[in-house]
Amino acid sequence: MALIDEITKRRTFAVIAHPDAGKTTLTEKLLLFGGAIHVAGAVKSNKIKKGATSDFMEIERQRGISVATSVMGFNYKDVKINILDTPGHEDFAEDTYRTLTAVDSVIIVIDGAKGVEAQTLKLMNVCRMRNTPVMVFINKLDRPCKDPFDLLDEVERELQIRVRPLAFPISSGDTFKGVYNIYEKNLSLFTSDERQTADASTVDFSDISSPELDGYITKQYADQLRENLDMVEAVYDDFDREAYLEGKLAPVFFGSAVNNFGVRELLECFIRIAPSPRPSTTETRQVEPAEAKMSGFVFKIHANMDPNHRDRIAFMKICSGTFERNKNYLHVRSGKQLKFSSPTAFMAEKKSVIDFAYPGDIVGLHDTGTFKIGDTFTEGEKLKFTGIPSFSPELFRYIENADPMKFKQLAKGVDQLMDEGVAQLFTSSLNGRKIIGTVGQLQFEVIQYRLEHEYGAKCRWEPISIHKACWIESDNQEQLADFKRRKHSNMAVDKHGRDVFLADTSYALALAQENFKDIRFYFTSEF
């Protein structure tokens, strides 16, 4: 098949949600439709259950599952779908942000009773930065939900994106009757004994004014639906696919994932309107997927769970051309030519060695510790893909060696965990002490546990009071030098030797920004 056909048939996306909204459930149902799995319950929730923050087995279990479900590929009709999994726990949000750099679109799941929640907002901000097209699935209609119009308004207001319902629910909770699919002009009837099966009963209804409708959902609900649909047509413009592709308009669907209701309609629309692989931006130029030469970047690195095999898997998104097994590629950062004898692809739950991969696909590369997040592979051109976010840590601690005999192991462990993007390392200019910055409390526990179990090293944490880490830069070298001298006790360098200002308080930061006008303060750094 020609490269262009391979590209056109691919859809690479992620399902994102606030924990508990139904991301895992929806993913599972999508896989059921794709025939990638055959029974419900095959995709385990990758979330760390509440109250389990100290349960390291749970962390390990989560890591194990997330390797298995990192990428789930399947075919539906003529389309090759790649779903990229994102961690459920918000302490791992950074992992999610990086995964979002590798997708071409996103499906956001919202709990119809709760509406837009905190984590959804944060994730949407990342999508907005990248103009990622988003579709919204409002879930749990089998439970009493907020009014659909209120939900649509809430999505529009909170997520700051125009919406266009392509489905509309008929009541919710105990009186939930079904969903009218505006996009397909048919009615899906809800009967709760459909739990966990693949087919809901649908009735074609191009003319909803037909009295027949009353027979299906009673006159009261039929009238209400007619009224609501009139309102939809009056309030919302026609669905504009271009606006969706530009990330400016979100089509909205309603359903109940656990009942597999409304999911087929979502998937059918998704394969029709969601984008195939889009061009990627590099520091020098735009890379088009259909370019003959292969290029791709690493967006995630996963350590092996088995401490006897310290190797890792680097996940590379193919951005252009055809990736081939055993072909030499330039690892741009090191300048070395590398070839991969056993690159893997992920189809459903199976990992298998592949000979070829195309734009939109994710390839697993065996890594012995040489790769970093953001690394680029090409056929010779020195490209560097941009927009892979490094995060601004919010929690800080000194890391101390608790076993003097294991100094080397600790250094190596810390180094490799940082490459995986688990946390960030800073070295204080004042005393040379190492500081670890994370976005979640849990990460300190994960680091300590992994250092011990994977590297045989022991660490101890000591408190340090830092409000924020900011990378600083200036064209005014004199001012920069002055700043560094005055703030000596708050200066540090990151892993790449870049200057970082560790502000004690928000006041100190504001004051520094006020007094040193020529200095640029960055709250994230790109890897």
Residues that bind ligand G4P (CB under 6 A): 17, 19-25, 45, 47, 88, 139-140, 142-143, 256-259
DSSP assigned state of 385 = B
Which DSSP string do the residues of 448-507 spell out, in sequence order? HHHHHHHH---EEEEE---SEEEEEEES-HHHHHHHHHHTGGGEEEETTS-EEEEESSHH
Name, in order, each residue with C-beta under 8 angstroms of 40's C-beta and a sequence gap of 6 or more.
Answer: 28, 29, 32, 196
Q: Which is nearer to ligand G4P, 47 or 372 (CB)?
A: 47
Q: Which is nearer to ligand G4P, 259 or 401 (CB)?
A: 259
The Cα–Cα gap between 336 and 191 comes to 60
Q: What are the helix (H) ranges across 188-329?
A: 212-235, 241-245, 263-273
CB of 239 to ligand G4P, least distance (A): 24
Which DSSP string do the residues of 216-234 spell out, in sequence order? HHHHHHHHHHHHHHHHHHH
Q: Which is nearer to ligand G4P, 179 or 319 (CB)?
A: 179
CB of 183 to ligand G4P, least distance (A): 20
Q: Which is nearer to ligand G4P, 259 or 376 (CB)?
A: 259
CB of 152 to ligand G4P, least distance (A): 18
CB of 159 to ligand G4P, least distance (A): 17
Q: Rounded to the nearest 10 degrees, what angle do helices 212-235 and 148-158 cross at?
A: 30
CB of 301 to ligand G4P, least distance (A): 23
Strand, coil or helix: 508 = helix
CB of 18 to ligand G4P, least distance (A): 7
Q: Which is nearer to ligand G4P, 48 or 301 (CB)?
A: 48
Cα 76 to the center of its chain, rounded Å: 22
CB of 109 to ligand G4P, least distance (A): 6
CB of 136 to ligand G4P, least distance (A): 14
Q: Which is nearer to ligand G4P, 188 or 390 (CB)?
A: 188
Q: Rounded to the nearest 10 degrees, what angle do helices 441-455 and 56-68 cross at?
A: 80
| Secondary structure of 391-425 as H, E, C letters | CCCCEEEEEEECCHHHHHHHHHHHHHHHHCCCCEE
The Cα–Cα gap between 151 and 157 comes to 10
Q: Which is nearer to ligand G4P, 6 or 20 (CB)?
A: 20
Q: Which is nearer to ligand G4P, 47 or 468 (CB)?
A: 47
